[in-house]
């Protein structure tokens, strides 16, 4: 029963703290009076009795504090009262509060926005059940890796039993043409093997799903397409859609959560059924394996390699050292963005450190002002713990408000990021503000507030609290310690800022270099788009005729200067390369010569894009399928093989070496343009063949050079295209200027982001220097006044203050330069034609920081110069 009585007492303390306090007051008074009476009874005079009784019983307040400190509810009540005191203090000093809360808000906002990206892209599991068991399967041969061929896929599927469940997919960049009532529409989609939904563990909402054993075209559709095309009627299953000109039976509806890894919001998934092939290649099936729970990736690699190699040997007589490698699907998707994201997060964290240092500085400055208040509270009996709690509560309240503001800033920042680079970051669609991110912001706020609150706490002179109180919260030793800490914080701020601003400047310089780089072609006024025709409905000859006719009809449109089409376009829309053998080299086996970017272009291509022909001739209409095979190469190709000689007339064979294949003659040389990796990727050896001599073209990029506004021609071009084939839509329409711009958007965005961070760091550091110098000047008023009284001139006073400000900045700059060297080295992969140790940047940023530090100390210096010795010396 005793615990019930105990609980009742606790509840009284918690629920009625005021009444309980009154009781203690009364009890202590009663105690004191009894003590006095005892002494009077013993014969003491009333005055003496009271004095002795007071000494004997101890202080009323401290006894009361001691009782209250034991209360359970006491902690809560104290915290609430501390919070009230903190808020009251903040309202008294709106300027100070705004400075602190904004510093924290900006720091936390930036960090949270980037954290949401880190979390969404790097940390959050893929949106499939048990997604850590999903691995991408690749073929490895030394350093070379590839997707799987149908032969490999079939062998892998057979041998997976007990180890892994495998499914495959492929996806076209330009989507699928879906026939509708008013013309074709282009929808995103993929071709997937029947097993893939099972491997990803997401079942259809309706319908049986893809079947393994059929040759008919089957398609799964998204929930949204089901709604749009069939009004969510269950009888949609069994109806058919016309995709790329072919009828395809709907066999199921997939839930919103389903898509192939790395893609979101696709509309259709067409059945992919790799037939039993005659040879091993080509390699194009992305293969996902779901490992059995007890199997490790290394075990699976070994088991699959052994089994598949055996099957391939039996079936195709292939003997080789290829093996199968597994990579976690999440790592595959994030790819090379991992470093960029972590680096950005690191820099943002540095800026947050600067913000915390700044807030600590401001709190110390205010702590000096509040010393008197703390001293009074200490002398009224507030214990150490109580004062410490108050100071920490101040920090935490500021931190929580800062965290909330930071969250707002982060939401806004993320919207900007999302609008500017939707396609640049993998998994960006999965980035959102959910519990972990909000918790991160608030935890960061509280931690930052605590850290900032601990600094002023650390410098309260606990050991000499009594002396300190008697002196009204001012002792000389204390102010020296405070000065040292604040100076350290400012030096750290300047150092961190220098490093961040250096990084930002390098990235901006890099983005500007990239922008200024001559792309090698003339993008102005050129419209481009993709046209793809059905693989089955068009023979090679008919396909060629279609593209020739389209070119003619477009050229006849008013406002069109020239038209051409090609397999790929600069700056980054060609992903075909081929090996070749040059005549005269040891041409008895495949592979001699090299690998080059391989483009097929119509005769008007170079003129339309303004790519100059330097030597020889361009392609002409005479270069037909039956004419002798000809080629153009670029300067890089010439440099690789014909140093100092003319390339014209040289002969080569494309693809694997075949003695019976005809030779191709080089008839011209053109200037370099980038195809792989955009301008950043640089120029590579490139080989061009006339489109008429490439028999496989079904999907081409058309370029139209216009006299006026390219956008005005999109309508007429669309009409001409559907007049030729009503089932062919225009895909991926954009001007070449837009494509060029887009190819540089990631470096540009990085430059912008880091500039913002650098600017923020600069503002914070300037505030920090200003705060310390203003406080320094205030503390030295007396000294300054004496010096003035002894005849020091204003200029000398200003110089003395500036000097001490610049000494701080100087120390920060020296440390910062060392820090910058470390930071910029890790940036080097993100820099385009800029040296990470660029001396001009380092010197410029150092000068900038020195200037900012100078300006930040100038204002307090001027104030020091205005010190009137008479007034100060009289007051002190």
C-alpha dihedral over 192, 193, 196, 202, to 10 degrees?
A: 70
Using the contact rule CB under 8 A, the part of the chain among 18-26, 305-313, 422-430, 550-558 near other proteins is 18-26
Q: How many CA atoms lie within 13 A of 625 on its CB side?
A: 11
Q: Binding other proteins by CB under 8 A: which of 14, 24, 512, 786?
A: 24
Verify binding: residue 22, other proteins, rule CB under 8 A. no
Distance of CA 623 to the CA centre of its chain: 49
Q: Could you say whether residue 6 binds other proteins (CB under 8 A)?
A: yes
Using CB under 8 A as the binding rule, whether residue 70 contacts other proteins is answered as: yes
Q: Which of 661, 697, 358, 757 has its CA nearest to residue 548?
A: 697
Residue 2 sits in the site that holds other proteins (CB under 8 A): yes
Q: In this complex, which beta carbon is closest to other proteins, that of residue 36 or of residue 237?
A: 36
Residue of the chain from 10, 239, 484, 793 that contacts other proteins (CB under 8 A): 10
Residue of 14, 44, 63, 557 that binds other proteins (CB under 8 A)? 63
Residue placing its CB nearer to other proteins in the complex, 2 or 336: 2
Q: Indicate the SS3 state at residue 646.
A: coil
Query: Which of 38, 793 has the CB closer to other proteins?
Result: 38
Binding segment toward other proteins, per CB under 8 A, in 66-74, 184-192, 630-638, 689-697: 66-74
At residue 434, the 3 state secondary structure works out as coil
Cβ closest to other proteins, residue 34 vs residue 84: 34
CB of 491 to other proteins, least distance (A): 39
Tell me which of 31, 592, 640, 718 binds other proteins, using CB under 8 A. Answer: 31
Distances from the Cα of 583 to the Cαs of 619, 641, 651, 660, 664, in angstroms? 22, 11, 5, 14, 10
Work out whether 466 is an interface residue with other proteins (CB under 8 A). Answer: no
- Tell me the window of 31-39, 42-50, 123-131, 782-790 that interacts with other proteins (CB under 8 A): 31-39
* HSE, side-chain direction, 13 A CA sphere, residue 137: 33
Token pair belonging to 606: 């170079």
By CB under 8 A, tell whether 9 contacts other proteins.
yes
Are 660 and 558 in contact by the 8 Å Cβ rule? The answer is: no
215 lines the binding site for other proteins (CB under 8 A): no
Which is closer to other proteins, CB of 23 or CB of 132? 23
Among 14, 67, 99, 862, which residue interacts with other proteins (rule: CB under 8 A)? 67
Residues 6 or more apart in contact with residue 356 via CB below 8 angstroms: 104, 107, 448, 451, 452
CB closer to other proteins, 9 vs 257: 9
Q: Tokens 């540009």 label which residue?
A: 748
Interaction with other proteins in 292-321: which residues (CB under 8 A)? none
Q: Is 818 left (phi over 0), alpha (psi -120 to 50) or beta?
A: alpha
Question: Closer to other proteins at the Cβ: 10 or 84?
Answer: 10
Beta carbons within 8 Å of 523's beta carbon, 6+ residues apart: 609, 735, 736, 737, 739, 740
Q: Which helix (H) or strand (E) holds 482?
A: helix 476-516
Residue 5 in contact with other proteins, rule: CB under 8 A: yes
User: What's the CA dihedral at 379, 384, 385, 390 to 10 degrees?
Assistant: 60
Name which of 44 and 295 has its Cβ closer to other proteins. 44
Residue 133: CB atoms within 10 Å: 20
The binder of other proteins chosen from 16, 19, 22, 30 (CB under 8 A) = 30
State the minimum distance, in angstroms, from the CB of residue 4 to other proteins: 7
User: Which CB sits closer to other proteins, 64 or 292?
Assistant: 64
Displacement of CA 436 from its chain's centroid (Å) = 17
Window of 23-31, 219-227, 490-498, 805-813 that interacts with other proteins by CB under 8 A? 23-31
379 lies in the site for other proteins, by CB under 8 A: no
**Closest distance to other proteins from the beta carbon of 26 (Å):** 7
Q: Which of 14, 21, 35, 732 binds other proteins (CB under 8 A)?
A: 35
- Which one of residues 1, 42, 423, 435 is an interface residue with other proteins (CB under 8 A)? 1
Is there binding between residue 385 and other proteins (CB under 8 A)?
no
Q: For 357-371, give the DSSP string.
A: HHHHHHHHHHHHHHH
25 in contact with other proteins (CB under 8 A): no
Residues of the chain by 3-state class (helix, strand, coil), percent to 5 = 55, 15, 30
Q: How far is Cα 236 from Cα 206, in angstroms, rounded to an integer?
A: 9
The C-alpha angle with vertex 666 and arms to 660 and 671, in degrees rounded to 5, equals 145
Give me the residues paired with residue 252 across strands: 220
CA distance linking residue 768 with residue 359, whole number of Å: 9
The CA distance from 155 to 276, in Å, is 10
Nearer CB in complex with other proteins: 23/185: 23
34 lies in the binding site for other proteins (CB under 8 A): yes
According to the binding rule CB under 8 A, does residue 712 interact with other proteins? no
Residues 43-62, one symbol each (x = binds other proteins by CB under 8 A, - = not), give -------------xxxxx-x
Closest approach, Cβ 70 to other proteins, in A, equals 5
In order, the DSSP letters of 63-83 are HHHHHHHT-HHHHHHHHHHHH
Minimum distance, C-beta of residue 20 to other proteins, in the bound complex (Å) = 9
The tally of CA atoms less than 13 A away on the side-chain side of residue 443 is 8
Question: Using CB under 8 A as the criterion, what x/- string covers residues 175-214 for binding other proteins?
Answer: ----------------------------------------
247 binds other proteins (CB under 8 A): no
Q: How far is the CB of 791 from other proteins (least distance, A)?
A: 53
Position among 16, 22, 26, 141 found at the interface with other proteins (CB under 8 A): 26
Q: Is 71 in the site for other proteins (CB under 8 A)?
A: yes
CB under 8 A, 24+ apart: contacts of 279-284: 279/151, 279/316, 280/149, 280/151, 280/152, 280/312, 280/316, 280/318, 281/149, 282/149, 283/139, 283/146, 283/147, 283/148, 283/149, 283/152, 284/147, 284/149, 284/170
Among 3, 588, 659, 790, binds other proteins (CB under 8 A): 3
* Total residues in contact with other proteins, by rule CB under 8 A: 33
Q: Which of 28, 288, 401, 736 binds other proteins (CB under 8 A)?
A: 28
Choices 20-28, 78-86, 203-211, 735-743; region in contact with other proteins by CB under 8 A: 20-28
Q: What values do phi and psi take at 599, rounded to 5?
A: -125, 145
**Residue 768 φ then ψ, to 5°:** -60, -45
Give yes or no for residue 835 binding other proteins (CB under 8 A).
no
Cα distances (angstroms) measured from residue 41 to each of 55, 159, 728 = 18, 104, 115
Separation between Cα atoms, residue 760 and residue 409, nearest integer Å = 13
Task: Say how far residue 230 (Cα) sits from the centre of its chain.
Answer: 39
- Considering only the stretches 34-42, 252-260, 768-776, 827-835, report the one whose residues sit in contact with other proteins under the rule CB under 8 A: 34-42
The least CB distance from residue 473 to other proteins, in Å, is 23
Q: Of 6-14, 352-360, 504-512, 774-782, which part binds other proteins (CB under 8 A)? A: 6-14
> How many residues belong to the chain?
876
Among 16, 22, 27, 695, binds other proteins (CB under 8 A): 27
Task: Name the residue nearer to other proteins (CB basis): 24 or 388.
Answer: 24
**What residue spans of 780-793 are helical by DSSP H?**
781-789
Stretch in the footprint of other proteins (CB under 8 A) among 22-30, 98-106, 190-198, 842-850? 22-30
- C-beta closer to other proteins: residue 66 or 614: 66
**Interface residues with other proteins (CB under 8 A)?**
1-6, 9-10, 13, 23-24, 26-28, 30-32, 34-35, 38, 56-60, 62-63, 66-67, 69-72
């Amino acid at each position: 029963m005793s615990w019930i009585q105990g609980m009742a007492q606790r509840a009284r303390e918690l629920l009625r703290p005021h009444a309980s306090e009154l009781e203690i007051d009364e009890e202590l008074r009663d105690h004191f009076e009894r003590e006095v009476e005892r002494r009077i009874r013993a014969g003491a005079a009333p005055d003496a009795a009271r004095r002795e009784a007071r000494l004997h019983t101890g202080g009323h307040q401290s006894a009361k504090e001691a009782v209250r400190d034991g209360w359970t509810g006491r902690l809560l009540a104290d915290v609430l009262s501390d919070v009230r005191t903190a808020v009251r203090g903040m309202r008294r000093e709106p300027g100070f509060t705004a400075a602190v809360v904004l510093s924290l808000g900006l720091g936390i906002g930036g960090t949270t926005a980037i954290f949401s990206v880190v979390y969404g892209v790097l940390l959050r599991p893929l949106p499939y059940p048990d997604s850590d068991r999903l691995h991408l399967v690749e073929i490895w041969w030394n350093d070379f890796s590839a997707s799987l061929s149908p032969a490999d896929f079939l062998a892998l599927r057979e041998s997976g039993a007990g180890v892994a469940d495998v499914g495959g997919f492929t996806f076209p960049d330009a989507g699928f043409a879906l026939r509708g009532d008013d013309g074709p529409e282009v929808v995103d989609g993929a071709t997937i093997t029947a097993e893939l939904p099972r491997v990803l563990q997401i079942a259809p909402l309706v319908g049986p799903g893809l079947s393994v054993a059929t040759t008919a075209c089957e398609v799964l559709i998204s929930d949204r397409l089901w709604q749009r095309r069939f009004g969510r009627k269950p009888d949609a299953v069994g109806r058919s859609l016309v995709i790329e000109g072919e009828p395809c039976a709907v066999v199921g509806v997939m839930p919103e959560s389903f898509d192939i890894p790395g893609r979101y919001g696709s509309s259709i998934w067409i059945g992919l059924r790799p037939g039993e092939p005659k040879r091993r290649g080509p390699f194009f099936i992305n293969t996902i394996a779901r490992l059995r729970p007890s199997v490790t990736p290394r075990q699976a690699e070994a088991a699959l390699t052994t089994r598949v190699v055996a099957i391939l040997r039996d079936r195709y007589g292939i003997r080789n050292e290829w093996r199968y490698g597994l990579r976690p699907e999440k790592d595959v998707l994030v790819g090379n963005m991992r470093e960029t994201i972590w680096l950005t997060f690191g820099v943002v964290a540095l800026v947050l450190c600067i913000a915390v240092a700044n807030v600590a500085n401001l709190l110390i400055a205010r702590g000096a002002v509040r010393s008197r208040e703390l001293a009074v509270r200490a002398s009224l009996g507030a214990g150490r713990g109580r004062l410490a709690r108050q100071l920490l509560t101040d920090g935490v309240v500021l931190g929580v408000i800062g965290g909330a503001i930071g969250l707002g800033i982060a939401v806004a920042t993320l919207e900007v990021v999302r609008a500017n680079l939707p396609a640049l970051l993998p998994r960006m669609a999965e980035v959102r503000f959910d519990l972990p991110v909000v918790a991160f912001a608030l935890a960061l706020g509280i931690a930052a507030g605590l850290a900032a609150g601990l600094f002023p706490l650390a410098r309260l002179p606990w050991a000499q609290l009594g002396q300190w109180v008697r002196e009204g919260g001012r002792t000389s030793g204390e102010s020296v310690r405070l000065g040292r800490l604040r100076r350290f914080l400012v030096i750290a701020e300047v150092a961190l800022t220098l490093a961040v601003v250096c990084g930002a400047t390098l990235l901006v310089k890099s983005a500007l270099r990239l922008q200024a780089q001559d792309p090698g072609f003339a993008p102005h006024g050129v419209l481009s788009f993709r046209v793809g025709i059905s693989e089955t409905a068009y023979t090679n000859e008919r396909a060629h005729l279609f593209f020739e006719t389209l070119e003619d009809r477009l050229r006849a449109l008013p406002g069109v200067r020239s038209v051409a089409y090609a397999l790929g376009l600069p700056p980054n829309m060609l992903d075909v390369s081929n090996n070749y053998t040059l005549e005269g080299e040891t041409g008895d086996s495949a592979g001699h010569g090299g690998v080059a970017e391989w483009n097929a272009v119509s005769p008007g291509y170079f003129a339309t894009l303004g790519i100059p022909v330097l030597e020889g001739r361009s392609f002409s209409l005479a270069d037909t399928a039956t004419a002798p095979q000809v080629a153009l190469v670029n300067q890089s190709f010439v440099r690789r093989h014909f140093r100092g000689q003319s390339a014209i007339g040289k002969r080569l064979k494309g693809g694997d070496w075949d003695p019976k294949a005809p030779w191709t003659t080089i008839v011209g040389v053109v200037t370099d343009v980038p195809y792989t990796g955009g301008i950043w990727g640089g120029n590579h050896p490139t080989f061009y063949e006339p489109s008429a001599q490439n028999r496989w073209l079904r999907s081409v990029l058309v370029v139209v050079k216009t006299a006026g506004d390219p956008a005005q021609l999109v309508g007429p071009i669309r009409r001409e295209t559907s007049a030729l084939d009503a089932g062919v839509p225009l895909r991926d329409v954009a001007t070449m200027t837009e494509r060029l711009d887009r190819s540089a958007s990631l470096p540009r965005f990085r430059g912008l982001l880091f500039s913002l961070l650098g600017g923020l760091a600069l503002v914070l550091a300037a505030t920090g220097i200003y705060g310390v110098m203003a406080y320094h000047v205030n503390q030295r008023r007396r000294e300054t006044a004496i010096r003035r009284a002894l005849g020091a001139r204003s200029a000398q006073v200003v110089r003395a203050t500036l000097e001490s400000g610049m000494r701080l900045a100087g120390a920060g700059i020296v440390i910062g330069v060392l820090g910058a060297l470390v930071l910029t080295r890790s940036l080097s992969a993100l820099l385009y034609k800029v040296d990470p140790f660029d001396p001009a940047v380092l010197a410029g940023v150092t000068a900038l920081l020195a200037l900012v530090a100078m300006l930040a100390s100038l204002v307090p210096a001027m104030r020091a110069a205005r010190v009137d010795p008479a007034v100060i010396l009289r007051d002190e």
